[in-house]
Amino acid sequence: TKTIKDVNLAGQRVLVRCDFNVPLKDGAVSDDSRIVAALPTIKHLVEQGAKVILCSHLGRPKGEKKPEFSLAPVAKDLSDKLGQSVHFLNDCIGEEVEAEVAKLKDGEIALLENVRFYEGETDNDSEFAAALAKCAEAYVNDAFGTAHRAHASTAGVTKHLSPCVCGFLIEKELAYLGDKTANPERPFTVILGGAKVSDKIKVIDALLEKADTIIIGGAMAYTFALAEGRKVGESLSEPDHIDTAKFALEKAKEKGVKFLLPADNLAVKDLDFGAGTVGESKYFEGNIDDGWEGVDIGPKSIELFKAEVAAAKTVLWNGPMGIFEIDACNKGTFAIAETIAESDGISIIGGGDSVKAINMSGYSDKVTFMSTGGGASLEFLEGKELPGVTALDQA
């Protein structure tokens, strides 16, 4: 994949696809990680003297121009961060947009309105892609978080613009989630959590080819416990996927990959997720009694997992160990976050909830790399091609 370093875009109108799909609160950006991650590419283009035309989606407005999905708050946040004005345009296609963009001087920046205000975006409609491309000459894709979508702004536009290259963020994401896990410094330990085995089985399968140790936490571990013939009480599990779990356990044995499940769990009664409260709580080793719901890993598991992480030269983490949004159930997830932050090895946080947990625990500046992708990171770790990257290669 060609990168922004392979081309000189001075003086050109460059359409830059970013993933500015960020959470908003009271009309302002409440988590700016994705904006911060996009800065190196934007600054590079500005310094090179390109005319920078940023575009992105925000949320899922489904082809309707809904003001709550406007990218205007992102333009403001970006202007503040860059110390330079970002001209916000009220649309992403059309004559007015073209006229405004034509006024840009070298090194100036515009941000187009949400591309998902048109259905043609998610449909990867060729007419919409052509209309979007009309304001620019060259194309840079730096939207790693959206690279698993074959949409007009991530794929279709590449038919109309040249050159088409990736930005620094996509380059870095591919390096950490790709090369550094394909040819890792060993021992390579993977920690996977989250609710469902069915969501993560392809990732587990792919990582069984690469890792020395795989640690399983989160509700997913209860399906593995069922596969081992243990009782899980009222814990969230997927009885339909016991065979899936058995298959992974079998494959781990064949490959000589150490596969660790929690040695103990915190279980509770009367969990109220909305209120963030639990009733009685108790630790169980092995079986969890009827009437109890597993919500976190226990202290023995924390010690066991900590030792593995401390011995690793590369650690990849994806998915929380428990319901970390509730204070009473967050100890396991935060203990893992802390251990990863303290490790001397390369630490890669594979997106989504684990990034949220690292941020909440305050250790985000101590890890080597945090992915900006949710679904995109998972699909890439599964070994799937990312349409947003493939389109660049084929352009």
What burial class does residue 156 get, using C-beta atoms within 10 Å of its C-beta: 0-12 exposed, 13-18 middle, 19+ buried? buried
Q: Which of 81, 186, 196, 313 is labelled catalytic?
A: 196
34 in active site? yes
Is residue 231 classed exposed, middle or buried when 0-12, 13-18 and 19+ CB atoms within 10 A define those classes? middle
**Of the two residues 196 and 300, which places its CB atom closer to ligand 3PG in the complex?**
196
Calpha distance 49→374 (Å, rounded) = 32
Is 68 marked as binding a ligand? Answer: no
What whole-number distance in Å separates Cα of residue 152 and Cα of residue 55? 11
Looking up tokens 């003297």, which residue turns up?
49
60 labeled part of a ligand binding site: yes
* 188 neighbors 313 (Cβ within 8 angstroms): yes
Q: Are 214 and 190 in contact (CB under 8 A)?
A: yes
By CB under 6 A, tell whether 63 contacts ligand 3PG: no
Over the window 284 to 323, marking each residue x when it contacts ligand 3PG by CB under 6 A and - when it does not, the resulting string is ----------------------------------------
Interacting residues with ligand 3PG between 206 and 225 (CB under 6 A): none
- What DSSP letter does each residue of 186-243 carry, written as one string? SSEEEEE-SS-HHHHHHHHHHHTTT-SEEEE-STHHHHHHHHTT--BBT----GGGHH
Closer Cβ to ligand 3PG, 61 or 193, answer by number: 61
* CB-nearer residue toward ligand 3PG: 19 or 32: 19
For residue 376, the minimal CB distance to ligand 3PG (Å) is 6
Question: Looking at 7, 14, 18, 19, which residue binds ligand 3PG (CB under 6 A)?
Answer: 19
Residue with CB nearest ligand 3PG?
A: 21
Q: Kindly tell me which residue out of 124, 146, 158, 318 binds ligand 3PG, with binding defined by CB under 6 A.
A: 146
* Residue 149, marked binder: yes
User: Tokens representing 277?
Assistant: 């409260």
| Residue 352 appears among annotated catalytic residues | yes
* 186 flagged as catalytic: no
Dist CA 338 CA 360 (whole Å) = 11
Q: Quick one: which of 60, 103, 258, 384 contacts ligand 3PG (CB under 6 A)?
A: 60
Q: Which of 223, 221, 168 is nearest to 1 (CA)?
A: 168
Positions in the binding site for ligand 3PG (CB under 6 A): 19, 21, 60, 145-146, 149, 374-375
Annotated binding-site ranges for (2R)-3-phosphoglycerate? 34, 116, 149
